[in-house]
Amino acid sequence: MTDRQWEILKSVIKGEILNPFPVGFIIDSPWLPNWCGIRILDYFSNDELWFDANMKVLTKFPDVIFLPGFWSEFGMCTEPSAFGVRCTFPSNEFPHPHKLIQSVDGIDSLPLPNPRTDGLLPFVLNRLKLAQSKIEKAGHKIRFAVARGPLNVASFLMGSTEFLTTMMMQPEKTEELLKKITAFLKDWLHLQMETFPSIDGIFLLDDIIGFLGETEFCTFGLPFFKELFDANVSLKLLHNDAPCKVSAPYLPEIGVNMFNMGFDVTLNEVKQLTQNEVTLIGNIPPRDVLASGDIAKITKTTVDLVDSLKDKSKVIFSCGGGMPPGVSTESITAFINATRK
């Protein structure tokens, strides 16, 4: 991300309305490799291809803010791998972490990983170290420390159904697990910030909070996210494209100042839920419109989104969630043009 793009983000957070409206997308391995014409496995295993893919999209769309920018990751396997999870990497499909904790008894013996040495995390950091000079030479900087959120990681370690069941049946075990994961994630985020002084943002992704009631969220979500976002950085970005009506009112208390939601709620609704204290990144339907819709549908849906806003401050126009597989260059261009009509 360039200095100019970073300043745009900070201006939007302050409530400034920019012309043209800012456009941004969260991009990672489900979309970028195939858009560039390479396999997902090649994207993960070849640092040159990974760098070239990121540079290609930044060059093609210089006015779009791609978040987090040069995302070094191995899909959903990134953080779970540090706990010893077995990971499957098909050649051109999304990688998959396998359940590690077979019963609640496994929570007690779960190790606290060292992000400096464990799992895929050293490879994540080293890829960025090796590419840092090229990234900066191209006019960009590493801006975000990135991690999956604690509930998300817990669901991969236990299985989503098993984790949510444990939450209801054995809440003390759930808290024990989340405390351990949060301590690890805090260490992982701080390691990224120590390694790259240019980092001035935290980006957490967690869809599991969308499946909790308010009582459960306040018990098992709120305190752990507050702890993770408690850092001296300018941008604090949360992604949750599952339902957000329960958690959204608590985002200001957590410290979140940027939020990427799904498309089951309108931006006007989320503005009301957050008292317009949080910059919103969204939110046309990603799959059914941006990926599958024709140019006319993308244009109309985007224009309708812009026109629907009662207050156009604190918005970065995007899709409701991360960039989905199959979105074409023409579709992105149509979206950008529509925000400028």
31-72, pLDDT tens digit by residue? Answer: 999 999 999 999 999 999 999 999 999 999 999 999 999 999
- The reply to whether 294 falls in a domain is yes
Token duo for residue 77 = 């396997």
Q: Is the pTM of this model over 0.85?
A: yes
- The reply to whether 189 falls in a domain is no
Q: What is the pLDDT of residue 243?
A: 96
Radius of gyration of the chain (CA): 19
- DSSP H or E segment with residue 258: strand 258-261
Q: Look at the chain and report how many structural domains it folds into.
A: 1
Q: Residues of the chain with pLDDT > 70: what percent?
A: 100
- The reply to whether 216 falls in a domain is yes
- The reply to whether 282 falls in a domain is yes
Which CATH number is 290's domain given? 3.20.20.210
- The reply to whether 164 falls in a domain is no
Q: What is the pLDDT of residue 228?
A: 98
Query: Which class for 20: exposed (0-12), middle (13-18), buried (19 or more C-beta within 10 A)?
Result: exposed
User: In whole numbers, what is the pLDDT of the chain averaged over residues?
Assistant: 97
Q: What is the pLDDT of residue 100?
A: 97
- The reply to whether 322 falls in a domain is yes
- Whether the per-residue pLDDT at 331 is higher than 90: the answer is yes
Token duo for residue 8 = 């745009």
Q: What is the pLDDT of residue 302?
A: 98
Give the chain's end-to-end CA distance (angstroms, integer). 26
- Whether the per-residue pLDDT at 341 is higher than 90: the answer is no
- The reply to whether 89 falls in a domain is no
Token duo for residue 61 = 């769309």
- Whether the per-residue pLDDT at 30 is higher than 90: the answer is yes
Closest listed residue to residue 74, CA positions, set 48, 103, 43, 101: 43
Q: Dump the DSSP string for 119-146.
A: TTHHHHHHHHHHHHHHHHHTT----EEE
d(CA 335, CA 176): 44
Token duo for residue 254 = 């957590």
